[in-house]
Structure 1
Amino acid sequence: MRKNPKVSVVMSVYNGAEFLRESVESILSQTYTNFEFVIVNDGSTDQTSKILSEYEDRRILCIDNGKNLGLAKSLNIGIRHANGKYIIRMDSDDVALKERIDVLVDFMEKNPTIDFAGSQAFYLEKYNKTKNVFKVPLTSNKIKSKVLTNPPFIHPSVIIRKESIRSIENLYDPRFLNAQDYDLWERLIFENRLKPANIKLPLLYYRVHELSISNSVNSKQRYFATKVRRRILKRFGISGNINLEVYNKFVYGGDLQRYSCMRLAHVLGQMYNVNRTKFLIPVWSIKHVPFYKYGIWGIKLFYVSGNNRLFSVFKQLTFILKSLLSFRCQ
């Protein structure tokens, strides 16, 4: 184990033998060298233990849970063993670009007011590296707006200033079996009031494979993401399953009838009004309620509902134009 590392890279792995070696070696071959690599083996039953035992690099600390505890608990264990000033996340099936740690540390050193940051990433389609970029918002204001609907970070791309989370006993909530990262970003931003950012450069190959896009995984992901959105609405004084259902349809692009559009306008209007006193989102930025699909009648709804107050004059004009084009196509 390296003494006095500036960076702690934390990884949890469960039955990840297929991609583990490539992932580990992408960290060990970084241009930045002052780091420790904390790897938590979460009760794997495949060749994961054998692969990890082959590494004799003194920067690696392997922790064996003995049984499967889940991602959240395993990451909390890894973070408790982290000694660095910065904690960098890494997944066992992704591949880091060789300058990744260098760029992240340099960014945090030059921006001492930033508490945690991520980066863009290239898509890695199972075995094929692509130049297609998974883009996330860059500025703190845009990130805070994005978290109202979806995670604003690529989880394994993130670096966290350890001092900023020192008072948080368990960073990840073990009750979240999926969407652990969305839950975390929402709490860090709204409860702990930490300042986020994203770097413009892609620093990671983010792997997408069959399991990550399966219907069962998506269903679980949506269930736990909905729990986060329920908490978000509660922060704005909004409760009720109907309001949550309409808001979720809005997030996922589901079909909204006229009544649902009016209810959604009420929800967003209340969020906007509460935000004017609580300042949860410094710069309000959220997409239109889809009134435009009702053409001229939708324009009336847009103003009667008060939804127009949420947008600049330019965006209101854009909405009117879209509504008129929609009416013309009907």
Structure 2
Amino acid sequence: MEFSDNTQTQLQNQPIVSVVIPTFNRANLLPRAISSVLAQTFSNFELIIVDDGSTDNTAEVVNEFADPRIRYIALSKNGGGSHARNQGIQLARAEFVAFLDSDDEWLPKKLELQLARLQSSDDPHATIVYCLGYEYYESVQRKKLPNLIAHEGDVFNNLLRGWLPSTTSLFLAKRSSLVDVGGFDESLPSFQDYDLWLSLAKANNHFLAVTEPLIIRYFHGNQIISNLSANLTGFQIFENKWGSIIKQRLGYKAYRESIGLKMSIIQVNRVGKAVDAGQRFLALRYTLSLLQFLPMSGTYILSGLILTIFGRTMFGRRAQENLAKLKSILTKRINKDEIKS
């Protein structure tokens, strides 16, 4: 597999990569994402911005970038992130598709190093390459690099156990592989990326990794991760879709741990919402519901109790940072299980 990057002929030739940015009412954040794509050291790409029914000045923001590689697609109504990404996949003209959330940014060598990793691989089934990424928590102005074991090859069982590169912004994939599995499942209001990587891995698409951080993912509150209803609904659909496969391939214990850890994070978020609404008994009920997932939920039970008793004064003034700590605990637990297996 050989990739060229001739900027003189890129407009005449097919692009090597189609970059898809879905966006909805993020005119204030979108310029950072667009600029990070245009600053890539590998320049033979097209940038497809799918405006998912925005009502702000997104179109004006995009028009300020005078770059012929940009294609702006305005959808007539909001259909959700999965729908917007699928539209981008359908419109893509390149062999490879890379995703970038409109509130994230890439570092300059992201595409160059991912394509180089694909080119250097002798695995005929390798169609997906991901990288590591920084996480930036805007409320506390803190950047961190999460722990992640960089699995390669057939990663289906790893994904079933709960291993997951955390955002679509990390990934570049062969377009034909995305099309073959039907793209993103639009019935899922959350867990869409996890579901897609599972579908790809199940279809014998192998993963490759660039083991250095090439993106920055921003946490700022206006995201699906903070939408409790979407997380609960998505979790239920996801569990119905993949739960039986986890049991069959990994056993009931692994299924319980995988489901329990995901549910624990959701429940701690529910505790915080209930405390904010002054419903401390409901918060306690959510916390105690985690007892069914012992021992893997012990840390989350403690966190839920602290939230319930002390509210935001001790736990929530730095809520995003504390949620980052919870996520770090989850990652370490998953990594420990991966090493054992």
Partner of 2:309: none
Q: Quick one: structure 1 residues 18 and 259, their matched pair in 2 at CA, closer, same or farther if it must change by over 3 Å? A: closer
SS in 2 for 1:63: strand
Partner of 1:63: 73
1:178-220 alpha-carbon deviations (Å, 9 max, x no partner): 2111111111112x121123321100010111233875x1442
**Conserved? CA contact 2:257–2:293, under 8 Å:** no
1:47 and 2:57 aligned: yes
Partner of 2:105: 95
Selected match of 1:197 from 199, 205, 208: 208
**Conserved? CA contact 1:151–1:182, under 8 Å:** no
Q: Quick one: structure 1 residues 130 and 247, their matched pair in 2 at CA, closer, same or farther if it must change by over 3 Å? A: closer
The TM-score, its normalising length taken from structure 1, stands at: 0.69
User: Which region of structure 1 is more displaced relative to structure 2, 226-235 or 199-208?
Assistant: 226-235
1:144-190 alpha-carbon deviations (Å, 9 max, x no partner): 3442243612321100022333434x301111122111111111112
1:137 and 2:149 aligned: yes
Partner of 1:212: 223
SS in 1 for 2:18: strand
**Conserved? CA contact 1:120–1:204, under 8 Å:** yes
The percent identity for this pair of structures is 22
Partner of 1:86: 96
Partner of 1:187: 199
User: Equivalents in 1 of 2:116, 2:51: separation in Å?
Assistant: 30
Partner of 1:175: 187
1:91-132 alpha-carbon deviations (Å, 9 max, x no partner): 101011011111111111112532112111111223887551
Number of equivalent positions: 264
User: Equivalents in 1 of 2:119, 2:339: separation in Å?
Assistant: 36
5+ long unaligned stretches in structure 1: 262-284, 289-309, 316-330
Selected match of 2:35 from 20, 25, 42: 25
User: Equivalents in 1 of 2:35, 2:200: separation in Å?
Assistant: 31
**Conserved? CA contact 2:260–2:296, under 8 Å:** no
1:36-82 alpha-carbon deviations (Å, 9 max, x no partner): 10110111011211101222200001111021111111111111111
The TM-score, its normalising length taken from structure 2, stands at: 0.67
What amino acid sits opposite 1:28 in the alignment? L
Report 1:231-246 matches (<5 A).
Answer: 231-235=241-245
5+ long unaligned stretches in structure 2: 1-9, 249-253, 265-289, 298-333
Partner of 1:292: none
What amino acid sits opposite 1:158 in the alignment? F
CA RMSD in angstroms, aligned pairs only:
3.4
Partner of 2:135: 123
User: Equivalents in 2 of 1:23, 1:311: separation in Å?
Assistant: 35
SS in 1 for 2:160: coil
1:7-36 alpha-carbon deviations (Å, 9 max, x no partner): 111111000112111110111111111111
What amino acid sits opposite 1:147 in the alignment? L
User: Equivalents in 2 of 1:194, 1:286: separation in Å?
Assistant: 22
User: Which region of structure 1 is more displaced relative to structure 2, 42-51 or 120-129?
Assistant: 120-129
SS in 1 for 2:195: helix
User: Equivalents in 1 of 2:339, 2:130: separation in Å?
Assistant: 28
Q: Quick one: structure 1 residues 4 and 287, their matched pair in 2 at CA, closer, same or farther if it must change by over 3 Å? A: same
User: Equivalents in 2 of 1:84, 1:7: separation in Å?
Assistant: 5
